[in-house]
Structure 1
Amino acid sequence: MCATDDVEANFRTCEKLATLASDAGCAMLFLPECFAFIGRKGEDALAIMEPLDGPLMTRYRDLARAKNIWLSLGGFPELGPDAGHRLNAHVLVDADGEIRASYRKIHLFDVDVPNGPLLMESKTASPGSEIVAADSPIGRLGMMICYDLRFPELFSALRYECGARVMLVPSAFTRPTGAAHWEVLLRARAIETQSYVIAAAQCGVHSEGRASYGHSIIVDPWGEVIAKLDDPDEGVGIAVAKIDLRGLEETRAKIPIETHRRGLGDRTAFPVTIAEM
């Protein structure tokens, strides 16, 4: 999808996507970061931030109930600690419209993108501090948002400490970074954790100076792309795949990296040596 600062139009798009997913027999629909709102400036989202029991989130909860489908709401402007900061919340809603889990984005995107925009998320957002996994109809989900993709230690914690089998990376990747790194990082994280990776993506031009790479993608635990939207700028749509948890366990059994891991964080057992010039 290509969200804008029009909250009502964004909801209609998400409603259309939910209908497509429901009609396709999907158990879950995964929406990207900023599904409800993308402003022209970073501070614009502060005007619509609300608690998770507020009216806008209630509409999306009602949508899940109406379509009888679980929703992964990839990045919502949740009411933050003060008037100048929101939380970027990934919210999991079940088919009854109940919130099952919420994750607040830990790694904030403060980057001057080469040949792209200057984005300073921390100016108007506060980071989360909790790693979150949640059970769902397709297995245990590891919840993340966008820039978290670049931090493999979070993926490792979700697999080895939380037992996640499906990693969620709802995103609004910039075009320069997406073209260079999007697919290769998603496939790498799937291979590293031997997990499914589901990455719903914003696409197209949101406003002057703000555009997203798109290319929503689903990767299996062997690192194979099993669903993808190749031309996201042509409009909204969904990529559909089946999650095979038995096949996931077979992949993990072929190369049992969980049993081979060493406690590299223990400096007594693994001291650091730097051979300087």
Structure 2
Amino acid sequence: SPRGYHSIPSVAMTTPAPLVAVAQVTSTPDKERNFAACAGLVREAAGRGARLVPAGGELGWGLIPESRGWGVAGGDPDVPVPRECGVWLSLGGFHERGQDWATTRRIYNCHAVLDPAGCMVATYRKTHLCDVELEGRVTMKESGFTTPGAAIAAPVGTPAGKLGLCVCYDLRFPEISLALRRAGAEILTYPSAFTVPTGSAHWEV
């Protein structure tokens, strides 16, 4: 190069990775309050540039409306928040009425993925139910009101990568995560609502 000038090395331009925001709420019996909290978190995440919002703590209670007889096989619910915000949502677990709801009142613990159009593109029904009794601390018998799912859901493509869908207590069973990884999952999602005693077995608290 001419004296006094230096060549500038070429730099490959890379596209920034899509931003992912994680939301967590504690649901209450007040559905309107739940919806306001859930929608507010998603709007805040979208305002910060998030493309995907995985949400736990039974966030689905607020964002997926109750519908008589609605189930995974019953068509898409009307979910306006992802359309409004232009984000993907990974929601769980919400209580989906079982096929025999009318006679048994049993539900599925369901994890759902919605695209920015508000369409449900993937669902997974929790396969491992949490029945635990820690004397003097906590008693839980999920199998008393929940029907286990029968299959693992195929990973679903999102702007952030392929999501593998699990729920809460599934974390204790490595086979499901290994199967999802072999199927191409790049991100494993476990929306959870652990109690303090059971949660301390998984997380630093």
Query: TM-score, normalized by length of structure 2?
Result: 0.77
Contact kept? 1:22, 1:69, Cα under 8 Å: yes
What whole-Å deviation, never above 9, does each CA across 1:72-101 have from its counterpart, x for those lacking one?
011111120222211111000001111110
Contact kept? 1:11, 1:36, Cα under 8 Å: no
Match of 1:154 in 2: 176
Tell me the matched-pair count.
174
Within a 5 Å distance, the mapping from 1:148-187 to structure 2 comes to 148-160=170-182, 162-183=183-204
Q: Secondary structure at the match of 2:54?
A: strand
Cα distance in 1, alignment partners of residues 158 and 61 from structure 2: 26
Q: Secondary structure at the match of 2:80?
A: helix
Cα distance in 1, alignment partners of residues 160 and 178 from structure 2: 20
Q: Secondary structure at the match of 2:91?
A: strand
Cα distance in 2, alignment partners of residues 2 and 116 from structure 1: 20
Query: What amino acid is the match of 2:28?
Result: T
Cα distance in 2, alignment partners of residues 6 and 142 from structure 1: 31
Shift of 1:180: 3.3
Of 36, 57, 65, which residue of structure 2 is paired with 1:12?
Answer: 36
Cα distance in 2, alignment partners of residues 15 and 169 from structure 1: 20
Q: Indicate the structure (1 or 2) with the bigger Cα radius of gyration.
A: 2
Of 132, 142, 152, which residue of structure 2 is paired with 1:121?
Answer: 142
Within a 5 Å distance, the mapping from 1:45-124 to structure 2 comes to 50-52=70-72, 58-59=77-78, 61-83=79-101, 84-124=105-145
Rate the CA distance shift 1:12–1:121 in 2: closer, same or farther, 3 A: same
Q: What is the identity percentage for the equivalent residue pairs of Structure 1 and Structure 2?
A: 39
Match of 2:22 in 1: none
Q: Secondary structure at the match of 1:108?
A: coil
What whole-Å deviation, never above 9, does each CA across 1:134-187 have from its counterpart, x for those lacking one?
111111111000000000011100001x1111000100011012223225xxxx
Cα distance in 1, alignment partners of residues 176 and 147 from structure 2: 18
Shift of 1:47: 11
Within a 5 Å distance, the mapping from 1:174-253 to structure 2 comes to 174-183=195-204
Cα distance in 1, alignment partners of residues 57 and 118 from structure 2: 19
Query: Which consecutive residues of structure 1, in runs of 5 or more, have no partner in the other structure?
Result: 39-45, 184-214, 216-277
Of 8, 20, 23, which residue of structure 1 is paired with 2:47?
Answer: 23
- The structure richer in helix per residue is 1
Rate the CA distance shift 1:139–1:116 in 2: closer, same or farther, 3 A: same
Cα distance in 2, alignment partners of residues 4 and 27 from structure 1: 27
After TM superposition, where is structure 1 displaced by more than 3 Å over at least 4 residues in a row? Answer: 46-50, 52-55
Contact kept? 1:49, 1:78, Cα under 8 Å: no
Q: Secondary structure at the match of 2:77?
A: helix
Query: TM-score, normalized by length of structure 1?
Result: 0.58
